[in-house]
Structure 1
Amino acid sequence: MVRLPLTPEEIERGRRLGALLRRARGERSMLSIALDAGVSPETLRKIESGRVATPAFPTIAAIVDVLGLSLDAVWSEINRPDGEAGLAGSDAAGRLAS
C-alpha cells in the first residue's frame, strides 16, 4: 500500500500531540506508560517526538487512557487553529483530565 505524503497540517497536529503527551506523562517513565498502554516504548517515543504524526486511533486511545486524559480534550487541543490560545501551559494535563 502506498502512503500519501503527510500534509503540513498533519505534521503540525502530530507535533502538538507528541508535545501534549510528553507534558501529560511528566516524570513518569516512558517504559511504564508504554507497557501500561500495551504499546512498545519505541512507538511511544516516536509519537512523542512527532516522528509518527498520524498514529492509529486505538494506540492513542490506549495512551490517553493510561495518562488519564480525555480524548475529546486532546482532539480539541491538537486541532486548535494556529495563534489560538490553547492548553499549551504547564498545567495542560490537569485541564485535559477526564
Structure 2
Amino acid sequence: MVRTPLTPEEHERGERLGRCLREARGARSMADVAASAGISAETLRKIETGRAPTPAFFTVAALARALGLSMDELAGRCAPTAPTAPTAPTAPIAA
C-alpha cells in the first residue's frame, strides 16, 4: 500500500507534537514513558523527532496518559501559535 505524501503542514504538526511530548516528558527517560504507554522506545523516539508525524490516536492518548496529561491539555500545548501582526505605534494623547 502506498501512502499519500504528507503536506508541509502535516510535517509541522508532527514536529510540534514531538516537541510537546519531549517537554512533557521532562527528565523521565524515553524508555520509562514508552513502557508506561505500552509502546516501544523506538516508536516514541520517532514521534518525538517528527519521523512519525501522524501517530495513531490511541498511541497519542496512551502517551498523554503516561505523561499525566489529558488530551485537551496536550492539544492545547501543541496548538500552533498564531503569528502576531505588528501593531502600529500609538500617538501620544494631547492633554
TM-score exceeds 0.5: yes
Give the match's secondary structure for 2:55. Answer: coil
Distance in 1 of aligned mates of 2:64 and 2:40 = 15
Distance in 1 of aligned mates of 2:51 and 2:78 = 15
Which has the higher Rg, Structure 1 or Structure 2?
2
Give the structure 2 partner of residue 33 of structure 1.
Answer: 33
Query: For structure 1, which runs of at least 5 residues remain unmatched after alignment?
Result: 85-98
Give the structure 2 partner of residue 65 of structure 1.
Answer: 65
Regions of 4+ moved over 3 Å: none
Query: For structure 2, which runs of at least 5 residues remain unmatched after alignment?
Result: 85-95
- Percent same amino acid among aligned pairs? 57
Query: TM-score, normalization: structure 1?
Result: 0.79
Which gives a bigger RCO, structure 1 or 2 (Cα 8 Å, sep 6+)?
1
Which structure features the higher share of helix residues?
1
Deviation at 1:75, TM superposition (A): 2.1
Deviation at 1:2, TM superposition (A): 1.5
Q: How does 1:37-56 map to 2 (within 5 A)?
A: 37-56=37-56
Deviation at 1:72, TM superposition (A): 1.6
Deviation at 1:58, TM superposition (A): 0.6
CA RMSD of aligned residues (A): 1.4
Give the match's secondary structure for 2:3. Answer: coil
Task: Summarize deviations over 1:3-37 as a string: whole Å, max 9, x none.
Answer: 10001111000000000000000000000100110
